Chain A
Amino acid sequence: MSRALPKLSAKTLLSLPPAAYLFLLFALPSLMMLFASFRYPGEYGGLAPWYYLEEGSLSFDLTLENWLRLFESDIYLGLLIKSLFIALLTTAICALMAYPVALTIARARKGRRELLLLLVILPFWSNFLVRIYAWMIIFSPQGAMTIAINELRALFDLAPISLMFSNVAVITCLVYVHLPFMILPLYANLEKHDPRLLDAAQDLGASRSQRFWLITWPQALPGLFAGAVLVFIPSLGIFAIPDLLGGTDGIMIGNVIKQQFVESRDWPFGSVLSLVLTGFTLLLIGLAAHFGRARGSEGKA
């Protein structure tokens, strides 16, 4: 009895403060958002009261209208599909670019490996806005790249184009910002591969592409999937990149969420859109956890 008591209190002492903090500042706001999605918007922004007391009788004022609005017009669903597509494209480009880097790091000598990894981590930790701003300079109409492309186009009698405020600019910057998220898990995976497997396959006469698709690819899948989730989730919810580089054509679902909360102040509908995004995020995290577990038990067997 006397031994069990201090152990119990240590458990509470350690877990209660962070649990209470995150309940109040993470779980509670999420629950309030869920509730807000069933309420009416207030007259001057915010939320309308959700119950009324009239002549001693209580009446509730909740609605499904906000959720139905999502399906009534093509605009929001269209934008959601576009955002999913852009996030998927970003993930695919990141995977293609990350592979040679991850492979080079995994094959490097131990001392150089640390340096190469640090070089991947550094840009990831530099300020998010600064990284967007860098592309605003590169894509600017006065920038060397735009001028060079348009001179080249002029040779073929093509009209000049603007790189700034386009989906190309948005996707380039999305790839730039999220690339380290793909390189690191892919490297962690490739590092564990046994090079003798490739040597054996080569000695048995497998071609380069056979060696890649039959040996490297199946082994790399868990790392690739982990990286894909880490790139896809933040890309899907992004608002600053389309805001600064996308112009009117380049907006994504994150921009509409920001708009509902900051400009048009329709919180219930903003909450619906946020919850849809939350749903996608949870689905992907769940899939990743399931996939990771399945792979893990496969490895043990």
Chain B
Amino acid sequence: MKSEKSLILSKFSASRGNKGVIAAAVLVYLFLYLPLAVVVIFSFNDSRLNAEWVGFTLDWYHKLFNNRDMLQAAGNSVLIACISALMASVLGTLAGMAIHRFRQKWLSALVLGPVAMPDILIGVSLLLMFMLLNVTLGTVSIILAHVSFCIGFVALAVQARMAGMDDSLIEAARDLGASPWQSFRLITLPLLLPGIIAGGLMAFTLSIDDFVITFFTAGVGSSTLPLEIYSMVKIAVTPEVNAVSTLLMLLTLVLILAISRISPQALRN
């Protein structure tokens, strides 16, 4: 009798513990989203101070679209992100295939090195090399730097895709007389494509969002959106920054939702 009672009690305490866990989880989710919500809400606020709600306005967005430096930086960011994503997609696909097919551990380490190292180390070592080799800092040096840390993300997405691929398809194609190039173009590439696209979109997102590595490899006249935000924030906090931040978040949101549709595993690595 007694043991039955204690069993019921312990079941009860277990469900209460479960509720406590869920409540704590809700609080952590709020912690993750409230700061971002603050940025978005104040971007529509009719006040210079990010302190209290005064009234709705689109003035800050209007100002933003008349800010020549910001528009130029945005254009530069998109250009850099497109070229970096394209280069990283090609190199990352090759690396992912090589690592999967030939189990090259050294290549895996080389590809993931720039992903694992703190950004600042990649940034300063590239700065050092570019300066010693007399490479002018600018759009080109930023692209070269971005590709180096994006390759790993594409390679991981491609590897995940290859792991789920049926190798017998390629063997069948070869048995039916396809050349290595034909079997690659007609079988491997179409099957890998979702992984490559997901990896390429991730590279685009990483490039357009990158601040630290860009900070060290950018030169005069090659500002990007994050660099522009940094220099604005350093001087003063204005709702114009909220407006550009909101737009940047919206872009990232669209990209990440697209990636999660194409290849859900790619995001979790």
Task: Tell me which residues across on chain A come within 8 A of B119, comparing CB atoms.
Answer: 234, 237
A10, A22, A132, A137: the one contacting B38 at CB < 8 Å is: A137
- Nearest-CB distance from A182 to chain B (Å)? 11
Instruction: Give a binary string over A160-192; 1 marks a CB under 8 Å from any B CB, 0 the rest.
Output: 000000000000000010011000100010000
A28, A143, A238: the one contacting B129 at CB < 8 Å is: A28
Q: Is the CB of A100 within 8 A of B21?
A: yes
Contacts A121-B267, A130-B39; A239 near B212 (Cβ below 8 A): yes
- Nearest-CB distance from B203 to chain A (Å)? 13
Decide yes or no whether A88 CB sits under 8 A from chain B: no
Decide yes or no whether B187 CB sits under 8 A from chain A: no
Q: Is the CB of B51 within 8 A of A142?
A: yes
Decide yes or no whether A120 CB sits under 8 A from chain B: yes
Task: Tell me which residues across on chain B come within 8 A of A155, comparing CB atoms.
Answer: none
Give Cα A208–Cα B16 distance, bound, in whole angstroms. 11
Which of B57-65, B67-75, B87-95, B192-200 is the contact stretch?
A: B87-95
Contacts A140-B237, A208-B14; A278 near B31 (Cβ below 8 A): no
Q: How many A-B contacts at CB < 8 Å in the complex?
A: 245
Instruction: Give a binary string over B107-146; 1 marks a CB under 8 Å from any A CB, 0 the rest.
Output: 1001101101111111011111101100000000000110
Give Cα A202–Cα B21 distance, bound, in whole angstroms. 18
Decide yes or no whether A227 CB sits under 8 A from chain B: no
Which of A30-38, A58-66, A67-75 is the contact stretch?
A: A30-38
A86-116 interface with B by 8 A CB criterion: 97-98, 100-101, 103-105, 107, 114
Instruction: Give a binary string over B166-180; 1 marks a CB under 8 Å from any A CB, 0 the rest.
Output: 000000000000001
Q: Is the CB of A144 within 8 A of B51?
A: yes
Task: Tell me which residues across on chain A come within 8 A of B151, comparing CB atoms.
Answer: 18, 21-22
B20-78 interface with A by 8 A CB criterion: 21-22, 24-25, 28-29, 31-33, 35-36, 38-39, 42, 49-52
- Nearest-CB distance from A237 to chain B (Å)? 3
Q: Is the CB of A138 within 8 A of B38?
A: yes
Decide yes or no whether B182 CB sits under 8 A from chain A: no
Decide yes or no whether A270 CB sits under 8 A from chain B: yes
- Nearest-CB distance from A259 to chain B (Å)? 11
Q: Which residue of B lies closest to A45 (CB)?
A: B131
Task: Tell me which residues across on chain B come within 8 A of A15, comparing CB atoms.
Answer: 94-95, 98, 102, 104, 107
Give Cα A240–Cα B227 distance, bound, in whole angstroms. 12
Q: Is the CB of B252 within 8 A of A127?
A: yes
Which of A10, A100, A114, A267 is the most central at the interface, judged by chain B CB atoms within 10 Å of its CB?
A100
Q: Is the CB of B21 within 8 A of A103?
A: yes
Give Cα A36–Cα B133 distance, bound, in whole angstroms. 13
Q: Is the CB of A14 within 8 A of B94?
A: yes
- Nearest-CB distance from B119 to chain A (Å)? 7
Q: Which residue of A lies closest to B267 (CB)?
A: A121
B38, B124, B210: the one contacting A257 at CB < 8 Å is: B124
B127, B211, B245, B252: the one contacting A125 at CB < 8 Å is: B252
Q: Is the CB of B245 within 8 A of A29?
A: no
Decide yes or no whether A126 CB sits under 8 A from chain B: yes
Task: Tell me which residues across on chain A come within 8 A of B264, comparing CB atoms.
Answer: 114
Q: Is the CB of B25 within 8 A of A103?
A: yes
Task: Tell me which residues across on chain B come within 8 A of A233, comparing CB atoms.
Answer: 116, 118
Q: Is the CB of B35 within 8 A of A134?
A: yes
Decide yes or no whether A261 CB sits under 8 A from chain B: yes
Contacts A134-B35, A278-B121; A18 near B211 (Cβ below 8 A): no
Contacts A19-B107, A120-B32, A125-B252; A257 near B120 (Cβ below 8 A): yes
Decide yes or no whether A296 CB sits under 8 A from chain B: no
Which 4 pairs across A and B sit closest by C-beta, in order of nearness?
Answer: A237-B118, A134-B35, A100-B24, A29-B125
- Can you identify 12 A-B contacts, CB atoms within 8 angstroms? A18-B94, A22-B114, A29-B125, A36-B128, A100-B28, A117-B268, A126-B252, A128-B210, A130-B248, A136-B233, A142-B51, A254-B118
Not counting A26-B122, A142-B50, A208-B14, a sample of 16 additional A-B residue pairs whose C-beta atoms are within 8 angstroms of each other reads A18-B107, A30-B125, A32-B132, A33-B128, A46-B132, A100-B21, A101-B25, A101-B28, A103-B21, A103-B25, A130-B245, A133-B245, A137-B50, A203-B7, A208-B13, A261-B128
